[in-house]
Structure 1
């Protein structure tokens, strides 16, 4: 498999942060988005940003900006589809997605997602981390947390995904499970590397993780 392209998902509404672009918030003197770009770029063959609205607000990043093609806010799968359409134009086989508000994801993310896809007809893998004891007590059978914004996605299934979104599908794992999606397990010590910034409290916590 050739090195996949990277797509940073920044199309969320950020309602718990009062709206706007969470990725442009700063920790340690740098924006969350710039930290995600710096972490993802060495792992992939090229990077695009999935974002809606005026793309000029990201002009200083020097990245292609691809918007959702599905009407309304259709969630992260719409961003995945936008990334897959962009990757198809580049002649790529697959993309790896990362969230714009998750600055600590693993530096071997892509390598391990690709390794987990070995033997698949279509490379489709989500990142996971072990659930904590408290999370296990709260119910549910799964012993892992799946991180649906961090995954390896095949360009070959983009039209299938488009049809599913048009029919109203919004839950990522329903689509990945339907297509034999796999999981790649990452360590969560000393904290979950897929921790994302949703609230002002999370932003303060991310600052502490830097120290």
Structure 2
């Protein structure tokens, strides 16, 4: 996490965060990437720790036996569309869950579960962007967009279901391009005990996980 306390580091109490863990993790060797250990704890524990103060509720999107995530105490929702079509299916599952289980919810935040260094102001800044007129607000850093890390209007769920089904759209960017989307820049780096890193650094491979371990090596 950044060593700077942002003016945005406040609870975003009207957001539900969907932690996306439904991928195949092929570059990590398969299995649940979010359960790989980083500094002695599962990756997902780092995500939960960073996001819990920022949102009203955390939900996990994962396929297969939900019991393997029981110790984290989160509701687990699976993709409604079979075949693991990608993160858009998890985003739709999150929208549908929010609409049914938390009626009146206007927005959800989605994050991938392989980004252990998320900004402390992530939820609030993305939420501000959609409240200013966007339908989707996407995080960015170092001139690169991270479309899976975003706030979405729940009202988009019907169009997203149609895009995934009838139109066979699979790329997150392709769906975003058809709606009012804003990009929110979170800067270049966050400061960690072992150095600096992009705030949306992905632990996609065992080598990435080793880099993340080194960045936390002096942390208590």
TM-score (norm 1): 0.90
Q: Is the 8 A contact 1:4 1:44 kept in 2?
A: yes
Query: 1:68 aligns to what SS in structure 2?
Result: coil
Deviation at 1:118, TM superposition (A): 3.2
Distance 2:109 2:65 in 1: 24
Matched, 1:173 2:179: no
Q: After TM superposition, where is structure 1 displaced by more than 3 Å over at least 4 residues in a row? A: none
Q: Is the 8 A contact 1:114 1:123 kept in 2?
A: no
Partner of 2:59: 48
Match of 1:204 among 188, 197, 210: 210
Q: Is the 8 A contact 1:94 1:123 kept in 2?
A: no
Matched, 1:116 2:129: yes
Q: Which has the higher strand share?
A: 2
The aligned runs of 1:150-169 (5 Å cut-off) are: 150-166=149-165, 167-169=167-169
The CA RMSD over aligned residues, in Å, is: 1.3
Match of 1:128 among 140, 144, 147: 140
Partner of 2:108: 95
Unaligned runs of 5+ in 1: 131-143
Partner of 1:23: 34
Distance 2:206 2:46 in 1: 18
Match of 1:69 among 52, 76, 80: 80
Query: 1:96 aligns to what SS in structure 2?
Result: strand
Q: Is the 8 A contact 1:127 1:185 kept in 2?
A: yes
Distance 1:119 1:102 in 2: 26
Q: How many residues are treated as equivalent by the alignment?
A: 197
Unaligned runs of 5+ in 2: 1-11, 190-195
Partner of 2:25: 14
Distance 2:155 2:13 in 1: 14
Deviation at 1:17, TM superposition (A): 1.2
Partner of 2:49: 38
